[in-house]
A and B are shown apart, each in its own frame.
Chain A
Amino acid sequence: MAILEVNNLKKIYTTRFGGNKVQALSDVTFDVEEGEYVAIMGESGSGKTTLLNILAALDRPTSGTVYLEGKNLVAVPESKMAEFRRRHLGFVFQEFNLLDTFSLQDNIFLPLVLAGKPFHEMQKRLVPIAKSLGISDILQKYPYEVSGGQKQRAAVARAIITNPKLILADEPTGALDSRASDELLRLFEAIHKSGQTILMVTHSIKAASTASRVLFIKDGEVYHQMYRGDLTSEEMYQKISDTLTMLTTGGERS
């Protein structure tokens, strides 16, 4: 069963004084099955971020529908949005978005505290997650005291501690060096293997090559998609790379 159904999504931005209209998404349709690991690729300005914002319920489409587990996201009223996001979605951002006034542990606890969970339950959930992400020793540290990779792992912990239906990742490796990136991608694969559905927006071929399916977006449409099948990461990398070359040089749709 599809956990996420996106149908004919369209988004038009109007500049502040009415004048120009910019079409960010023209017609996007795709499904994500439960347990899938999907990467969305595209160049700057292709509409990736707009799409992610709509999926994250941070923005509303001009037309079209988004169903998360059969529930229409577009119909969720503004006042329930934040709660909806907290219950069903987990986020990993390029800039980590950790709060500098909290220790890593408190940052990870934030969504649970907002949900009103008791402390011992939070603690119970944190221990295995922290262990698998390798951040057990630095939980009491503050964001400014740890490296970018460690910050991003804490952000991942914050995303998965609520057991969300779907994890949305926006360029998660964008601010990391190559070693930290590799490590993070390994973690994503491990989380995926444990049954978690992940949707990642990226323009790193390396990051996309770890996914089970890659969607390519161009000019506000899904231009092409590719399943990993039995390919190794290296083969996948090559295939994505070829597709991108074709995309940018303006080749025909395959």
Chain B
Amino acid sequence: MSNVFYFKLAFSGIVKNRKLYIPFSLTSIGMVMMYYIVMYLSHEETIGQMRGGEDVQGMLSLGTGVISVFAVIFLFYTHSFLIRRRKKEFGLYNVLGMDKGNLMRTTLYETVMLLLVSVIGGLACGILFSKIVELLVAWLLGADQTLTFAVDWTGVGNAALLFSGIFLLLLLNTMRQVQMAKPVELLRSENQGEKPPKANWVFAVLGIVILVCAYVLAVSVEDPLEALTVFFVAVLMVIVATYLLFISGSVACCRLLQKRKKFYYKTNHFVAVSSMAYRMKRNGAGLASICILSIMVLVCVSTTTCLFAGEEDILANRYPRDIAVRTESADEQYVNAVSAMISQTGQENGVSGDNRIHYRYLSVSGYYNGANFILDPDKVQTFDYSDVYVINFIPIEDYNEQMGTQISLEQDEVMLYDPSGEFTGEQITLEGMEPLVIRERTDEFLRKGEDAVNILNSLYVFVTDMQVVERIDVVQRQIYGENASDVCAYDAFDVPGSAEKQNEVGESLMDAVSAAAEADPAFPDVAIEVAEWERESFYGTFGGLFLLGILLAVVFVCAVALIMYYKQVCEGYEDQSRFAIMKKVGMTEREIKRSINSQVLMVFFLPLLLACVHLGFAFPLIRKILLAFAMSNVGLLIGVTVLCALLFAVFYVIMYVLTSRAYYRIVNGQSAD
């Protein structure tokens, strides 16, 4: 017989069973698309260059891993439904005189066709989707495009390779089953019974233990620098635990429920619990993957949205005044010169420097061992970032001038401003110096913008006069040598009016400083920060991250919707006969409906529920990490996270309603006649 014949046979087999093959193809198309897009984003260069982009890409690489595992598990699961239905047909062909070799050739053609449709369709959708996003980015961010999407050949290659591999396995599996079976068995295979699942208690308990450890780890992290490393460890532990819990824990849980006779033998629970045990055995891995992908999306979306929405907050935090100038010298001559420049440029541009801040400071970092601040890093054995402080020493006269107060301090007395409120000591003692007694604390001072993004704790210590600052300077110079910091002057002011005005003032200030530096070689370094200049790059970065988050969410939600729908439809065909029997034995329509609802509900919402719990425990970690982006608005973060979770849940509910309806229609259709 010619190849054309087998090709036709395979083709007509697919067409005749299109009710199952179309959703299967759509599912695998969705998988290919999801894989391609995530793969592509995970090594896109422009994303890597973004602030925080590398962390996002690290997360995405993990995501591609999860998606690959998920694809293998899920395609195998869904394909088993196809095989089951096709086996009967193969049995008939076998009885009619086709040998197994012929059948295998037919399955080969079938698999190749499915593979081609999936990979080509999936990649086309993926590329199309990324192009749409490219246009969206260009539209949102104007000409200054931060994300450029092109066809990513590595992604195409990897996707094609991975899915060819998976389909090869599917083919081998089908061939094995056809090879092993006898014709009569093939004819009957649809009605074959299945072994009841055994609960694996060791894995179930292990899953719980690992999960608890991961939660404790995530919650107990104190300091943001540690947070990133701990985050990845915790994520890995949570992934492992989730798989264990869904695969073994769920079956174990069903078994426990079955042992509780009073609970189990209730109309509502009886059917649901026993079929859940079977469901979970085959579905656990798939559901775990969905759970993990859900939490990844939730984390991505909520953090990026939060950064985007909190942008003005972050800017205000990072740049308390429109323009900030740091003069790296305490020499009055230069400090006054810079002050004069600021006043002058202001006048030239017709603005008086509003909300002017001016103070001199010396920043020293030290490790607080409970009594003293140790400056020499070599003397510190155990290192905990939460005990490292950046101490700004400022003469009290600058404080008084700033705040309009008349505070005077005795020798060796200080006043303390502690923004984090973590420092509980009674005195400030630098290594090798007399202790400085804290006479009072204040909760008001205009801190420097850069301290807002510093993940180390900062302290502001107001001392008697400039001489004290200079004495400290001498000590820290001895210890730090080349790395010692200079006494600086901090000047900041607002420029009322338009953004352009800000630009103008900033630029003329720059010009004035460089002119002065040319005239006097000893002129100190002067750093100028203009909030407006930074705003654009902020929007670029966070806008890009935000879109990335949304893109991932959309891709994922589409894929999951498709996958869940198909799963439910397949299971529906399988459950038809089961519900037909129950109807004959006397189960009413309402009971069937209720039982279906509770089952679908559990299958659907377990992953979401666990994802939300995960998210809750990850929250402290996420908050710490966002601090590194100067995002300290916890209220916004909570709001956005909850909103994201709710939106996701709404999508989920819509999917659930559609799915359970389709399922009910299928289950009921057959049993009626």
A and B interact physically: yes
Interface, chain A (partner B; CB < 8 A) = 56, 58, 79, 81-83, 85-87, 89, 91, 93, 97-103, 106, 109-111, 113-116, 118-119, 122, 142-144, 158
* Contact across chains for B195 and A144 when beta carbons are under 8 A apart: yes
* Contact across chains for B196 and A142 when beta carbons are under 8 A apart: yes
* Contact across chains for A58 and B584 when beta carbons are under 8 A apart: yes
Which residues of A have CB within 8 Å of B262?
Answer: 118-119
| Alpha-carbon gap, A99 to B192, bound state (A) | 11
* Contact across chains for B265 and A114 when beta carbons are under 8 A apart: no
* Contact across chains for B274 and A106 when beta carbons are under 8 A apart: yes
* Contact across chains for B591 and A114 when beta carbons are under 8 A apart: yes
* Contact across chains for B266 and A113 when beta carbons are under 8 A apart: yes
Distance in Å: Cβ of B475 to nearest Cβ of chain A: 78
Which residues of B have CB within 8 Å of A110?
Answer: 270, 582, 585
* Contact across chains for A114 and B586 when beta carbons are under 8 A apart: yes
Q: Which of chain B's residues 192-250 have a Cβ closer than 8 Å to chain A?
A: 192-196
* Contact across chains for B261 and A83 when beta carbons are under 8 A apart: no
Distance in Å: Cβ of A91 to nearest Cβ of chain B: 6
B378 at the interface (CB under 8 A from A): no
* Contact across chains for A101 and B278 when beta carbons are under 8 A apart: yes
B581 at the interface (CB under 8 A from A): yes
* Contact across chains for A143 and B193 when beta carbons are under 8 A apart: yes
A97 interface neighbour in B265, B581, B587, Cβ under 8 Å: B581
* Contact across chains for A82 and B583 when beta carbons are under 8 A apart: yes
Distance in Å: Cβ of A27 to nearest Cβ of chain B: 25
Selected A-B contacts with CB under 8 Å, 29 pairs: A79-B588, A79-B589, A79-B590, A82-B586, A82-B587, A83-B586, A83-B588, A85-B586, A86-B585, A86-B586, A86-B587, A97-B581, A97-B584, A99-B578, A100-B193, A100-B578, A101-B196, A101-B274, A101-B278, A103-B196, A109-B270, A113-B265, A113-B266, A114-B267, A114-B585, A114-B591, A142-B196, A143-B193, A144-B192
Which residues of A have CB within 8 Å of B583?
Answer: 82
Distance in Å: Cβ of B572 to nearest Cβ of chain A: 15
| Alpha-carbon gap, A225 to B508, bound state (A) | 116
* Contact across chains for A91 and B584 when beta carbons are under 8 A apart: yes
B369 at the interface (CB under 8 A from A): no
| Alpha-carbon gap, A142 to B262, bound state (A) | 21
* Contact across chains for B586 and A119 when beta carbons are under 8 A apart: no
B17 at the interface (CB under 8 A from A): no
B275 at the interface (CB under 8 A from A): yes
* Contact across chains for B589 and A82 when beta carbons are under 8 A apart: yes
Which residues of A have CB within 8 Å of B591?
Answer: 82, 114
* Contact across chains for B589 and A122 when beta carbons are under 8 A apart: no
Distance in Å: Cβ of A156 to nearest Cβ of chain B: 13
B582 interface neighbour in A56, A81, A99, A142, Cβ under 8 Å: A99
Give me 19 other A-B pairs in contact (C-beta within 8 A), A99-B581, A103-B196, A119-B265 excluded.
Answer: A58-B584, A82-B583, A82-B586, A82-B588, A98-B581, A100-B578, A101-B275, A101-B277, A101-B278, A102-B274, A110-B270, A111-B586, A114-B586, A114-B587, A115-B586, A118-B262, A118-B265, A142-B193, A143-B193
Top 3 nearest A-B pairs (CB, nearest first) are: A86-B586, A144-B193, A82-B588
| Alpha-carbon gap, A87 to B588, bound state (A) | 12
Distance in Å: Cβ of A105 to nearest Cβ of chain B: 10
* Contact across chains for B585 and A158 when beta carbons are under 8 A apart: yes
Chain B, residue nearest A98 (CB): B581
Q: Which of chain B's residues 144-197 have a Cβ closer than 8 Å to chain A?
A: 192-196
| Alpha-carbon gap, A113 to B192, bound state (A) | 26
Which residues of B have CB within 8 Å of A79?
Answer: 588-590
| Alpha-carbon gap, A111 to B271, bound state (A) | 11
Chain A, residue nearest B581 (CB): A97
Which residues of B have CB within 8 Å of A100?
Answer: 193-194, 578
Q: Which of chain B's residues 481-537 have a Cβ closer than 8 Å to chain A?
A: none
* Contact across chains for B270 and A111 when beta carbons are under 8 A apart: no
Interface, chain B (partner A; CB < 8 A) = 192-196, 261-262, 265-267, 270, 274-275, 277-278, 578, 581-591
Distance in Å: Cβ of A115 to nearest Cβ of chain B: 8
Which residues of B have CB within 8 Å of A109?
Answer: 265, 270
| Alpha-carbon gap, A83 to B265, bound state (A) | 18
Which residues of B have CB within 8 Å of A99?
Answer: 578, 581-582
Which residues of B have CB within 8 Å of A118?
Answer: 262, 265
| Alpha-carbon gap, A82 to B262, bound state (A) | 24
| Alpha-carbon gap, A56 to B195, bound state (A) | 32
| Alpha-carbon gap, A97 to B194, bound state (A) | 15
Known A101-B275, A101-B278, A144-B193; contact A113-B586, beta-carbon cutoff 8 A: no
Which residues of B have CB within 8 Å of A111?
Answer: 585-586
Which residues of A have CB within 8 Å of B590?
Answer: 79
Known A113-B267, A114-B591, A144-B194; contact A101-B586, beta-carbon cutoff 8 A: no
Which residues of B have CB within 8 Å of A58?
Answer: 584
Which residues of B have CB within 8 Å of A91?
Answer: 584-585
Which residues of A have CB within 8 Å of B275?
Answer: 101
Chain B, residue nearest A96 (CB): B581
| Alpha-carbon gap, A143 to B193, bound state (A) | 8
Distance in Å: Cβ of A40 to nearest Cβ of chain B: 19
| Alpha-carbon gap, A101 to B585, bound state (A) | 15
Known A101-B278, A102-B274; contact A116-B267, beta-carbon cutoff 8 A: yes
| Alpha-carbon gap, A49 to B70, bound state (A) | 47
| Alpha-carbon gap, A93 to B581, bound state (A) | 10
Which residues of B have CB within 8 Å of A103?
Answer: 196
Which residues of A have CB within 8 Å of B585?
Answer: 85-86, 91, 97, 110-111, 114, 158
Which residues of A have CB within 8 Å of B586?
Answer: 82-83, 85-87, 89, 111, 114-115
Which residues of A have CB within 8 Å of B265?
Answer: 109, 113, 118-119, 122
| Alpha-carbon gap, A185 to B247, bound state (A) | 45
| Alpha-carbon gap, A81 to B192, bound state (A) | 30
Which residues of A have CB within 8 Å of B588?
Answer: 79, 81-83
| Alpha-carbon gap, A143 to B266, bound state (A) | 22
Which residues of B have CB within 8 Å of A158?
Answer: 585
Chain A, residue nearest B591 (CB): A114
Chain A, residue nearest B197 (CB): A101
Distance in Å: Cβ of B664 to nearest Cβ of chain A: 16
Give the residue among A101, A111, A114, A122 with the most B Cβ atoms within 10 A.
Answer: A101
Distance in Å: Cβ of A95 to nearest Cβ of chain B: 8
Which residues of B have CB within 8 Å of A56?
Answer: 584
Chain B, residue nearest A84 (CB): B586
| Alpha-carbon gap, A111 to B584, bound state (A) | 10
Chain B, residue nearest A106 (CB): B274
Distance in Å: Cβ of B153 to nearest Cβ of chain A: 48
Distance in Å: Cβ of B344 to nearest Cβ of chain A: 86
Which residues of A have CB within 8 Å of B581?
Answer: 97-99
Give the residue among B262, B583, B584 with the most A Cβ atoms within 10 A.
Answer: B584
Which residues of A have CB within 8 Å of B195?
Answer: 142, 144
| Alpha-carbon gap, A142 to B194, bound state (A) | 9
Which residues of B have CB within 8 Å of A143?
Answer: 193
Chain A, residue nearest B277 (CB): A101
Chain B, residue nearest A58 (CB): B584
Which residues of B have CB within 8 Å of A86?
Answer: 585-587
Give the residue among A89, A99, A118 with the most B Cβ atoms within 10 A.
Answer: A99
Distance in Å: Cβ of A147 to nearest Cβ of chain B: 13
| Alpha-carbon gap, A225 to B222, bound state (A) | 90
| Alpha-carbon gap, A102 to B270, bound state (A) | 10
Which residues of B have CB within 8 Å of A101?
Answer: 196, 274-275, 277-278, 578
| Alpha-carbon gap, A145 to B346, bound state (A) | 92
| Alpha-carbon gap, A43 to B340, bound state (A) | 115
| Alpha-carbon gap, A113 to B278, bound state (A) | 20
| Alpha-carbon gap, A190 to B278, bound state (A) | 37
| Alpha-carbon gap, A158 to B581, bound state (A) | 12
| Alpha-carbon gap, A44 to B472, bound state (A) | 108
